Amino acid sequence: MAKLLRKPQNELLKEGITCVHRVTEDNAPLHYVAFMMLDVKKGATYGKTLADMEVCIVALTGKITVRTENEVFEQIGTRKSVFEKIPTDSVYVGRGQRFEIAGESEMARVALCYSPTEKALPVRFIPASSNTIEARGKYQNRRLVHNILPDDSDVTDSVLVVEVYTEGGNFSSYPPHKHDQNNLPAESFLEESYYHEMNPAQGFVFQRVYTDDRSIDETMTVENRDMVLVPAGYHPVGVPDGYTSYYLNVMAGPERIWKFHNDPAHAWILDRK
């Protein structure tokens, strides 16, 4: 199996709480990005006190209530499936604070998007209505983007979070681009993770992660609810005909700015008439 491909682990943490994915510095080649995906049944709760991390809690599907030390956000979440293609609600919790997530629907999927930080920022609710929506690309490179925490957000210190939809027959994160050099203003260093879902669920996508010197070069068949880790390199995604791809991106690095560099071998496609 590819080193950068993660299959669902489906670890039962407690009654009603299943950890689908857990990505940490201890088990992954990432230093700035950590991630958990939880399946939370109605009435079940999951809590954690943050140390030197910040987190964006994304109500991926279903309804949840998020409690912090001084705030309660009740019945948040807007969709039963990510493929409704509408934005959803999130909550940002800063360093040193405690949060608790409670399931309010039969089943909720909750993404916990972490990054280390030295700043203690306040809790913020990120309503679905605040997500900017944009269409990117042309020809066979079209995708739809929901910006939850883009790089111009004032909510967070480090972590960036976006959702991307790509229809069958299209490529996403294409032409291949990277952001693995601290070379501003031309390029920033941001690690990245991809959490994938497919519609219909038996579908798959192909994702390649490669560097210029090919010290990293993996091409992966990615199935529903798999993850792909991008410590460095270009990272395009190809979607077969008949299926729709969804992925949740988490990015973080030394500076919270997204400046990418296209692979010169393939950048020519941008100039097509």
Tell me the C-alpha distance between 94 and 91, whole Å: 10
| Long-range contacts of the stretch 214-218 (C-beta < 8 A, 24+) | 216/4, 218/2, 218/3, 218/4, 218/5
pLDDT bucket at 273, cuts 50 / 70 / 90 = low
Paired sense of beta strands 64-68 and 98-103, if any: antiparallel
- pLDDT at residue 161, rounded to an integer: 98
pLDDT tens sequence across 77-116: 999 999 999 999 999 999 999 999 999 999 999 999 999 9
Would you state the pLDDT for residue 272?
Answer: 80
**Contact at 8 Å (CB) between 269 and 236?**
no
The domain locations on the chain are: 5-271
pLDDT tens digits along 174-220: 999 999 999 999 999 999 999 999 999 999 999 999 999 999 999 99
pTM of the complete model beyond 0.95: yes
Average pLDDT value for residue range 218-240: 98
Q: What is the dihedral of CA 157, 210, 136, 262, to 10 degrees?
A: 90
CATH placement of domain 5-271 = 2.60.120.10
